[in-house]
Chains A and B, each alone.
Chain A
Amino acid sequence: MENYVKQHCFDNENVSRYYLSPYVYIVQTDEGLYVGREDDEREFCFYEEVDVYIQLFHKLSEGMTEGEIYRYLEEYFSEKSNEILSLLIGGGIVE
């Protein structure tokens, strides 16, 4: 179980930051990393750079700005960063 998801209490300071949703499930198998939300039918599977995503989720459990997330993704995925960020936010993995 992913023991790093958190329920944050939002205030005027942190409401603008992005966090790993407390409603995600993250399952690592031999095939890849399955990520989804408990209340959503969609599930995403990341087959490559699994460790990169896991590290990102750990960071997101404490909160990141949009810029910080983008810079992190750009380091590993360059032109695909926007697409991945949209996927994570649109999919409710990142709130």
Chain B
Amino acid sequence: MKDCSCSYISGGAIEGTEFWLNDLWKFEAGDKNLLLDRQGHILLLKKNLCNTIWNQEISEDLLLKLLQRKFAYESENIDKNGTEKNSDIKPMFFMIDLTNKCNMECRYCLRNVEDDSDKESITNDMIDSICEYLAQYCKQIGDKRITIQPWGGEPLLETEKIFLLQDGLKKRGMNPQITIETNALLLSKGLMKELYQRGISIGVSIDGYQKIHDSQRVIHSGIGTHQVVERRIRSIQKLYGNDISTITTVTRNSLENLEDIIEYLAVDLGLIYIKLNFVHRSCFAMNDDLCLYAEEIADATIRIFQKILELHKRGIEVYEYNIWLKSMNLLTGKKLDVCNSNGCHGGKRMIAIDKHGDIFPCDVTDFPEERLGNIKTDKDLIALLENSVGEKAYFKEKKGNECEKCPWQHYCRGGCTVHMKCATQEQDVDMIECTINRNLYPKLISLILHEPERMNQLLGYEILKKEP
């Protein structure tokens, strides 16, 4: 795929008007330009129209488009950088930490499942308290459209608690979306049916075909789990159809065979929704040998992207969540993901509640220093979070020396706080996310400019008009 040229243009007055143009990046390919500003807006223009912005020939129609797309402002004094406002604090995604017990011992586990002293699960009373807390919160904000993720350990070790949670919320007039990520070992046909009837979404962890998966996803005895997981996935597909997603952790074990892993998921298993996440260092498991260097992540990112394109060319429908999400970031600005849409929204658009009712900004419930409050004492969640944002180290701005000139800064904002927390060396930004963004976003823009039909395929619908 051809690249496109990129130039950075500092903001300034639009000649012949009383308006000001933001700082922006201009990507050019053929007769098309793509403008990108610091707030992540894009504007696609034919080159001859785009040039009118800088040669005093801009029309009122184009000026209106620039204003509405927020590329231009009436006054130079407007905050052009789109600094995040506290009004962005409105959690709508809730992880409920049911248990840190697990029936597996994955080599890269991020949870502290070794701490036997606190190895108990959430109580029924706490589930009820959480339901009441969430109901009151939704009443306070006037919005019931929340998503709940019962979490673990292995959440299906506490299936009854998941149902209790759902029933408790229903009793209080709520019907949130509930989604679980599971190792699938406990997914009997009966349980699958009940989850389906209750409308609970399932994501299954599978790291590839047997050799790869069994090298890192094992039970306590060290025996691999691939055979069981594959059978479960096929059973889920019979019930849920295509409405099942998988999560694949990419480690050093999987690097050489990345394309084969994706082929296995999309073709052998016929999965449509897959997600490949790079392993990051765990504070609890000894997984340094599985972690990848930045150059390896850069290379793997492009390989995943190219493999997905190749599958589409062969007529195979598959969507890799991270690629899909970043494409959506560019084309719609929709903050579809609390982690990867425009930086970390832990403690702002998502929180986690543990078995003691303690509130955390995200899945850091094993780190007591990250505790923000408790549902029993902090009834006003938004006030709690607003105070925390100003005080806690978790929320410290993540910015390196190169971020100011980086076109992807809006989408990245330094990446994942948890990744940085567990890294071996102190970092200004999450180097995993930074590396992915610096390598993937330029490819996505090239696709938008050179081959819009293929971008439409990546997303699964015609967001870019076909060229006549």
Contacts and interface: CB of A to CB of B under 8 A. Distances in A.
Pair from one complex: yes
A4 B365 CA distance: 40
A39 interface: yes
A12 interface: yes
Given A9-B46, A12-B48, A3 B68 contact: no
Contacts of A23: 41, 332-334
Interface string B286-311: 00000000000000000000000000
A2 to B, nearest CB: 9
Contacts of A11: 45-46, 48-49
B258 to A, nearest CB: 29
Given A12-B46, A27-B145, A5 B332 contact: yes
Contacts of A21: 68
Contacts of B440: none
Interface residues of B, number: 34
B32 A9 contact: yes
B463 A95 contact: no
A39 B42 contact: no
Interface string B57-85: 00101101100111000000000001001
A15 B49 contact: yes
A10 B41 contact: no
Contacts of A7: 42, 44, 331-332, 448, 463-464
A15 B64 CA distance: 9
Categorize the interface residue count of chain A.
20 to 34
B333 A9 contact: no
A87 B46 CA distance: 29
Contact of B43 (A10, A27, A38): A10
Contacts, number: 72
A15 B465 contact: no
Given A39-B82, A92-B68, A10 B331 contact: no
Interface in B63-112: 64-65, 68-70, 82, 85, 87
A18 B44 CA distance: 15
A41 interface: yes
A86 interface: no
A38 B69 CA distance: 12
Interface string A1-40: 0010111111110011000011101010100000000110
Pick the most buried of A6, A9, A29: most chain B CB atoms within 10 A of its CB.
A9
Given A16-B61, A23-B332, A39-B333, A6 B463 contact: yes
Interface in A76-95: 89, 92, 95
Interface in B404-445: none
B87 to A, nearest CB: 6
A9 B44 contact: yes
Contacts of A12: 46, 48-49
A6 B65 contact: no
Interface string B439-463: 0000000001000000000000111
Contact of B87 (A8, A9, A22, A41): A41
B49 A38 contact: no
A52 to B, nearest CB: 23
Given A15-B59, A23-B332, A10 B464 contact: no
Contacts of A5: 332, 463
Given A15-B61, A39-B70, A41-B85, 13 more contacts: A7-B331, A7-B332, A8-B44, A8-B465, A9-B32, A10-B65, A11-B45, A11-B48, A15-B59, A22-B332, A38-B335, A92-B68, A95-B69
